[in-house]
Homo-oligomer: A and B are copies of this chain.
Amino acid sequence: MKHINSDSIDKMESRFRANLFNTISGFKSANLIGSSDNNGKTNLAVFNSVVHIGANPPFLGFILRPTTVARHTYENIKANGFYTFNHIHESFIEKAHQTSAKYEKNVSEFEACDFGIEYLNNFSAPFVKESKIKLGLKLEEEHLIKTNGTLLVVGKVIDAYLDENLISTDGSVDLTKAGTVTVSGLYEYSKNI
């Protein structure tokens, strides 16, 4: 087995290190986060860092770097207080990934990447029409991770939309049936069997 230590990590070429440590923790969830500012200007961004915080009541977190392209998502969440998680499925991996490209603040990735916008039951943030599993969240708390300036954003799930036939009798959601994908690193999407 190859041993990589702090010394060799420091000396790695930066793209190589980024790829290594974005993949080495295992498969990740793939979600599109929908948000909008107080003027109704929408934003959509792919995130692979959604993490389960609790089930009763239901809380989910995600990690973001406020200094990158993700800052539009953060600004919107802070301004609006509500946002959405939308599953990425096999059928639209490419355009979902395209939301990670750099767009100007006045460009909505919903339009730029050809996603349908859905507003459901007066929830103030936009859902993705193409997603078969979508969640509406209310911002609950945030934590600054001092060591590298990233943020953990925690939200409470207050709405969920999915086909009834994806829910088993015990409550479990059949993600394989939904065609939900996982991501390894930043761009390797795969399906599960």
Contact = CB atoms under 8 A, between A and B. Distances in A.
Interface of A: 1-6, 9-10, 12-31, 48-61, 63, 85, 87, 120-121, 133, 135, 140-141, 143, 145-148, 150, 152, 154, 156-164, 167-168, 170-173, 175-176, 180, 182, 184-185, 188, 190-193
Nearest to A118: B1
A141 B133 contact: no
Most buried by B among A17, A163, A172: A172
Contacts of A27: 27-29, 175, 180, 182, 192
Contacts of A184: 172-173, 175-176, 192
Contact of A164 (B2, B18, B190): B2
Contacts of A13: 171
B21 A55 contact: yes
A189 B170 CA distance: 17
This chain's copy number in the assembly: 2
Most buried by B among A5, A121, A161: A5
Given A1-B163, A18-B56, 16 more contacts: A2-B167, A3-B121, A3-B161, A18-B171, A24-B58, A26-B182, A28-B51, A48-B52, A49-B52, A61-B152, A141-B145, A141-B147, A143-B152, A145-B152, A182-B192, A190-B192
Contacts of A135: 24-25
A176 to B, nearest CB: 7
A58 B16 contact: no
Nearest to A185: B172
Contact of A26 (B50, B150, B163): B50
Contact of A56 (B14, B57, B154, B180): B14
A120 B171 CA distance: 42
